[in-house]
Structure 1
Amino acid sequence: MKFTFVKAHGSGNDFPLIDARAIVLGDAEWARVARALADRSGDVGGDGILLLTHSDNEHIFGMRMFNPDGSEAETCLNGLRCTARLGFEATGSDAGRVRLKQSAAQARAVAPIADGVTTIETKVGPVSLVPRDVGLTTGAATPFVDAAIPGLPSGRRFTAVAMPNPHLVAFVDAVDEDELVTLGDWCEGGPALIPARANVSFVELRETGHAPALFVRTYERGVGLTNSCGSAMAASTLAAARTGRIGWSVETRVFNRGGMVRAKADVGDVVTIAGNATFEWDGEIEVDPASGAAGPLRMLGRREEEVAAWERMLAGL
């Protein structure tokens, strides 16, 4: 089957993005396509694949995201911005409610965060801090907010958030990547404490006051250590507000290895993020959904001006 796609990224989180509104494949077939296209040793590569899916009575369109290991994520906020941009271009809209795997989000086109950088704002929530919603089997009813989690092989204090995908967020003086990977690998094994696995983030509070800033480093479920994870940036913003590190409804710059977004957490556990939805190039490729075998990539065109605009923004951070 021939797939036409755009290679897109949100804050450095990169994906082949497919308009799948007219494509009928089963979950196992999409999983094989994801493993083929997201393979970094292949012609395309990515942090997974994004699918623009059809509308319904309540949603302007939908989004699905499959990780490089073929698992499907409940949400991907960096990917949502990219998918929303494609959906807006396809439907002639600039705002709407988007269907996700287990929830929905509001998305709209907003003023650029930097010159020439197409920017989409997404709003999700209210999100849940109920331990069972995060996938924790501790039996606790009270949320873990800057608290030790029994059974977790770490002495750090975490805030557990379901975006609805599960996140464990710890604030640190300085990120220790070896420690993060060790804990992420443990969670990735699907232990009894959190059998559906979890995203783990270490977060530095870099500025406070009227212009707070966070730096987030994430081990992403199904991906590993990643330069960017949008739902982790959202979960970290909420955790920072919940623990008093930033104020509610205060716009916060959230940085990661991939770039920067503007975020805020509102009372009621709603999180808003505005960030780039950059289209880098267009291509097409044959992938057999039954076997996952991929043919050669055909490049259809590059979006040089968008790439240059994003690089100028990074240079100015």
Structure 2
Amino acid sequence: MRFEIVKCHGSGNDFPLIDARGIALDDAQWPVVARALADRRGAVGGDGLLVLQENHGLLRFRMWNSDGSEAETCLNGVRCVARMAFERLGIDRATLHLMRSTVEVAREPDLAPGVYTVGEVAGPAGLDVNEWPLHGEGHEIVARPIARLDPVLAFTAVAMPNPHLVAFVDAIDEAALVRIGTICEAAPDWLPNRANVSFVRVLGPEAIFVRTFERGVGLTDSCGSAMAASAFAAALTGRTEFAREVMVRNKGGLVMARAEGDGMVALRGNATWEWEGAVSVDPATGIAGDLIVARHFNTEIAAWAAVAEASAAA
């Protein structure tokens, strides 16, 4: 199988992206493609695979993690898929249909010179952990410990719509984050569908820093739905304010987020192209090869690098 791809990223969350509107693969084949293309030891590498599809006139977003599992959403990836739809269909706004929800997307003024920017509105955030499911902790978890994860850390559980456990900390202990994320990644009986785990530092009334262990990926520089869930959890617990835009920083860069009291979260962030080309995937071995890069987007890469450097220094 040979695919035309764009290598892209949203806030440092990087992916191969395929326009699959004319591609007929079944749900057993896409995970093979995802594992092959996202394998960082292989020809391309990434945090997962993004796919733009169309079904009866409806634009569809799908995302597979690097382990081949399909995610309910990926808000950094949504912006990249939205950009592809905008450019190839000649539009500047759309509704993308995800696994269990929809998200409104629109072209926005550039966050910084040369940084292609997309706005998205996702939600509503869900607080009922029985829907994940997460067993044995009641219906809601807001700013309280989960003994099976840690006896001290206080978590807030938010579905966006994929499940997130958010803990606000004074300093980010990556070893502890990996330990807790690994427990969730093992899919214990009480958390069969796993969960993303984020440690969040409050930098001020209008800024937070998020570090995430993402299910199916591991420790990641950026996770869009984690940033949205963390922004909502910060407002819910009184650390920031609802209806006030905050800067959400991470190791990959930043997004701007505004959480509302009804659970909706608006994000503004980049959708940056790095290169485009073509690659083959052997369905028998699940290995990607014969990569040809047709074009690098050096101006975009440099524009985002300036934003990420400024964010890291702030």
2-structure distance, mates of 1:293, 1:134: 33
2-structure distance, mates of 1:312, 1:10: 15
Deviation at 1:150, TM superposition (A): 4.8
**Residues 30 and 289 in structure 1, CA contact (< 8 A), matched pair in contact too:** no
1-structure distance, mates of 2:19, 2:25: 13
**Residues 149 and 183 in structure 2, CA contact (< 8 A), matched pair in contact too:** no
Taking only aligned residues, the RMSD between alpha carbons, in angstroms, comes to 1.2
Counterpart for residue 238 of structure 1: 232
**Residues 203 and 236 in structure 1, CA contact (< 8 A), matched pair in contact too:** yes
Match of 2:169 among 163, 167, 172: 172
Deviation at 1:133, TM superposition (A): 2.1
1-structure distance, mates of 2:116, 2:288: 31
1-structure distance, mates of 2:16, 2:53: 14
Counterpart for residue 278 of structure 1: 272
Q: Which string of whole-angstrom CA distances, capped at 9 and with x for unpartnered residues, describes residues 109-143 of structure 1? A: 101111110000110111211011232112623x2
1-structure distance, mates of 2:252, 2:275: 18
Match of 2:197 among 182, 194, 200: 200
Q: Residues 139 and 159 (structure 1 numbering): CA distance in 2 closer, same or farther, change over 3 Å?
A: closer
Structure number with the higher strand fraction is 2
Counterpart for residue 80 of structure 2: 82
Q: How is 1:53-68 mapped onto 2 (pairs within 5 angstroms)? A: 53-56=53-56, 59=58, 61-68=59-66
2-structure distance, mates of 1:225, 1:140: 28
Deviation at 1:102, TM superposition (A): 1.0
Counterpart for residue 220 of structure 2: 226
TM-score (norm 2): 0.96
Deviation at 1:290, TM superposition (A): 4.5
Counterpart for residue 35 of structure 2: 35
**Residues 43 and 288 in structure 2, CA contact (< 8 A), matched pair in contact too:** no
2-structure distance, mates of 1:16, 1:233: 21
Q: How is 1:94-243 mapped onto 2 (pairs within 5 angstroms)? A: 94-138=92-136, 140-141=138-139, 143-208=140-205, 212-243=206-237
Counterpart for residue 46 of structure 1: 46
1-structure distance, mates of 2:294, 2:133: 42
Counterpart for residue 260 of structure 2: 266
1-structure distance, mates of 2:233, 2:252: 21
Q: Unmatched 5+ residue regions in structure 1? A: none
Q: Give me the identity figure in percent.
A: 52
The one-letter code matched in structure 2 to 1:138 is G
**Residues 10 and 81 in structure 1, CA contact (< 8 A), matched pair in contact too:** yes
The one-letter code matched in structure 2 to 1:9 is H
Q: Unmatched 5+ residue regions in structure 2? A: none
Match of 1:71 among 69, 79, 83: 69
1-structure distance, mates of 2:137, 2:181: 22
The one-letter code matched in structure 2 to 1:158 is F
Corresponding residue SS for 1:237: helix
User: How many residues get paired?
Assistant: 311
**Residues 132 and 193 in structure 2, CA contact (< 8 A), matched pair in contact too:** no
The one-letter code matched in structure 2 to 1:25 is L
Counterpart for residue 299 of structure 2: 305
Corresponding residue SS for 1:228: coil
Further displaced range: 302-311 or 168-177: 302-311
Corresponding residue SS for 2:180: helix
1-structure distance, mates of 2:130, 2:149: 15
TM-score (norm 1): 0.95
The one-letter code matched in structure 2 to 1:165 is N
Deviation at 1:168, TM superposition (A): 0.2
